[in-house]
Amino acid sequence: MKITVTIGDQNEVKEISNSITIKDLLKILEIPSETVVVKKNEYIVINEEIVEEGDNIEIIKVIFGG
Give me the pLDDT at residue 57, please. 98
Query: How far is it, in rounded angstroms, from Cα 58 to Cα 11?
Result: 9
> Does residue 66 sit within a domain?
no
Are 41 and 50 within 8 A, CB to CB? no
Query: How far is it, in rounded angstroms, from Cα 60 to Cα 19?
Result: 22
pLDDT score of 66 more than 70: no
Query: Where residue 34 sits, what CATH number does that domain have?
Result: 3.10.20.30
> Does residue 32 sit within a domain?
yes
- pLDDT tens, 3-49? 999 999 999 999 988 889 999 999 999 999 999 999 999 999 999 99
Can you give the pTM of this predicted structure? 0.90
Query: How far is it, in rounded angstroms, from Cα 63 to Cα 49?
Result: 23
Q: Cα-flanking dihedrals φ and ψ of residue 55, to 5°?
A: -65, 150
Domain of residue 35, residue span:
2-61
What is the residue type of 15? Answer: E
pLDDT band at 64 (very low <50, low <70, confident <90, very high): confident
Q: What is the dihedral of CA 34, 17, 59, 23, to 10 degrees?
A: -20
User: What is the total count of domains within the chain?
Assistant: 1
